Chain A
Amino acid sequence: MNGVGVAGLRAAAARRAALSATGATAAADAAAALSSHASTFTTELAKFASAHRADIEGNPAFRERFHALCATVGVDPLTSTKGVWGRLLGVGAFYAELSVRLVGVCATTRSVNGGLLRMDELVALLNRRVGSGGGRAGGERGGGGAPSPRATVTADDVRRAVKRLASLGGGYAVDRIGGVEVVRSVPGELSRDAGVVAGLAMARRGMVTAASVAATTGWGADRTATALRAAVEGGFAWVDDGGRERSYWFLGLAEGGGEDEGALDADGHTVGGGSDAGCGGDGWGIASRLRLPLASATAATASTVPGAASVRAAPTTPSASLQGSFAS
């Protein structure tokens, strides 16, 4: 009677069908419920982001937690798509503007460091860039999306921006040299040997000699010379023949001295601050202290020499394409 015979088989089949139908329904119900939760959650998250835009931009710790939250739902707030995330103008605009500035700093410093700049120096440079000239990307869309002048940029922010920039080509990446994070803005990593030399320089306040390299690595003269030449030819190191022996200085890798750099004027030039320190005994960040212009070209006045204006040449700012990728 119970599950015996054809009738029993049919009953079992019917039970199974009913179960699976229920199962399917249950699954469908569950999926529907999940989707509705997710959609509600997403909406709520978007609302949250909008409401706390100022905090996200101004507070690095808050920003980290926001990103962690987004990660748990598998959402990337930097890829603003249409719909609810399109309203996350604050977050997208923050990274778009950061990326533009990052590209600008890298472009301007590339002629002295070959496209290698240690992370902490880059972060310091980005944070020194106060006030004028910051992209008003969000603002154009109405509602004050521009980052506040006091927004603090962190290494995490830079890593996220570099990850986005990497997809646009141009060689942006975060490498590790001598155990320290370095932002590269040129394609092609250093050769392995040149990388070792750079790592040594990193540990020695940015400067090495052929003798110090050979002594530390045990390399022969030829191998040392080749590595050093590669670094120089790549634009990563400057040579100094004014001492007893030739020395090599890696501008992008020296540490900042941490002393007062002075304020920045509208052109991004340092005004005030320690200028006599030069390269004293402490570590110094030449890239930041070369007072390299971080803003676009200012028009030369009639009374200045045309040649001088070239020092303030504008860095390449592919802002159009960057903006497009962040805020479609």
Chain B
Amino acid sequence: MASRSTPGDGSGSLAGGPGSGGGGPVGPFVFPPFHAFPPAYTVQPTASTRARQVELWVACILDYCRHYRLFWLGVEGHGGLFRNDQVDRRLSAKDAHFFLSALVSRGGGRWEGAAGGSSAAAAGGHGGSSSSGGSGDGRGGGGGGRVLVYWRSPAAWGDLIYKWVEATARNGTVMTLYEVRLGEDARGQEFYDLDVQLACDALAALQAAGKCALFSSDTSDDLGVKFL
């Protein structure tokens, strides 16, 4: 069995190799009972009910992605997330987009192409300045875009990286993103094999906190970073 068991079809990207995160095989995700409730798959017309529905979907999405160490999620969902075959219901692309937008508005992620980093995540609302591609306020990503899911905030990822930097006496050294993500020393760390975009967001957050300096605004493994 692979170290990360995945449900259903393999659509959507799945990060995490054998050495990443907590290690060990992961059982199938236990969906909340709400997931088997047919009306969950219809956006509710009444505001107070809809608000609750959004809360439940946002929590479900975060828990699911955290469980499978998923970083990207599109409107097609992943595995059994946006559908329940037992009750024969699925989220339409439009409704999935609605809930993904809600996830982003609540700071649970950002659209691909939007600016990443601590300000976008922490604001929880209309985040960051727009860069190339979509805007940061959740309307981005068009009809088929993907969301980078923050089941752990970029700031928290940054903290994990920085603690490791301190523990391994790397303060003052210059590294590439590749070395941080996939270096030998990083094996077994939670951030090992972290998604590139998310790692960039994490380092941007660290930079905002004054704990590192980035040498460019690359979002690739070539990004240079000096930990202070």
Contacts and interface: CB of A to CB of B under 8 A. Distances in A.
B25 interface: no
Interface string A94-121: 0000000000000000011010000000
Interface string B48-91: 11011101101100100000000000000000000010111110
A289 B33 CA distance: 6
A232 B42 CA distance: 13
A278 interface: yes
Contacts of B38: 240, 242-243, 247, 249, 279
Interface stretch (B10-18, B149-157, B170-178, B213-221): B149-157
Residue from B39, B103, B150 having most chain A Cβ neighbours under 10 A: B39
Interface residues of A, number: 34
B45 interface: yes
Interface residues of B, number: 46
A302 B41 CA distance: 31
A305 interface: yes
B165 interface: no
A290 B58 contact: no
Contacts of A306: 106-107, 122, 124, 153
Contacts of B58: 307-308, 311
A213 B37 CA distance: 21
A249 B37 CA distance: 9
Nearest to B84: A278
Contacts, number: 119
A290 B49 contact: no
A298 interface: no
A125 to B, nearest CB: 14
A304 B59 CA distance: 11
Contacts of B156: 302-304
A279 B37 contact: yes
Nearest to A313: B55
Given A286-B37, A306-B106, A307-B107, A242 B88 contact: yes
Interface in B97-111: 103, 105-108
A22 to B, nearest CB: 72
Closest 4 CB pairs of A and B: A278-B36, A307-B106, A238-B39, A111-B52
